Chain A
């Protein structure tokens, strides 16, 4: 499979717990993005990596959120002390100049 992979597909967690999501981009794509999408809205930008460098972070990314891409390949997104408002679909995308390929997303539900 040469697409973007995300793991897990679904995550249910209790408020206050930490969660971590993983994204494996298309191997030749050096740009990687994280987005968050809630019902009825378009994807909202969270952060961007060029290789292992995190070049941009949205103001949406509070200090409870951290993202890494240690070797310029896969990336992780961690949310600490989850809140109910964090419930959303978290999408990862990798890109070339011709467009963005999204993973299937991780649907987070905070109860």
Chain B
């Protein structure tokens, strides 16, 4: 089983739709969770951290479910500019360093 798993998509959604991505992780000792956004041929950029209590940033909501070992990202009122690959990132302290594992990403295409 992969350490971090994501549905690669693509998710093709119309403008204005709500879309949700899930990401599962295998190591229950994982401590920190993030969503990154990566545009084609560009570097990943931090979208938001994911907190145990859940957090919201405008149209984006992230949730963490430690019991089921998954995190989610909800995008409301999708915009064309949301088209990108969304990477799930899981971090844990391993032997004194922060081990960071990326999922393969979920591709989102917002259609006019």
Contacts and interface: CB of A to CB of B under 8 A. Distances in A.
A104 interface: yes
A98 B102 CA distance: 16
Interface residues of B, number: 25
A85 interface: no
Contacts, number: 51
B97 A48 contact: yes
A46 B102 CA distance: 12
B57 interface: no
Contact of A41 (B94, B97, B104): B104
Could you say which of A42, A43, A97, A100 has the most chain B C-beta atoms within 10 Å of its C-beta?
A42
A103 B43 contact: yes
A105 B41 CA distance: 9
B98 interface: yes
B54 interface: no
Interface string B43-63: 111100100000000000000
A91 B46 CA distance: 14
A100 B102 CA distance: 12
Given A48-B98, A91-B43, 14 more contacts: A31-B98, A33-B100, A42-B4, A42-B102, A44-B102, A45-B99, A50-B97, A55-B95, A95-B98, A98-B49, A99-B49, A103-B43, A105-B43, A107-B41
16 contacts: A31-B98, A33-B100, A42-B105, A44-B102, A45-B99, A48-B97, A50-B97, A55-B97, A56-B97, A56-B99, A99-B49, A100-B34, A100-B89, A102-B45, A103-B43, A107-B41
Interface of B: 4, 8, 32, 34, 41-46, 49, 87, 89, 94-105
Interface of A: 31, 33, 35, 40-45, 48, 50, 55-56, 91, 95, 97-105, 107
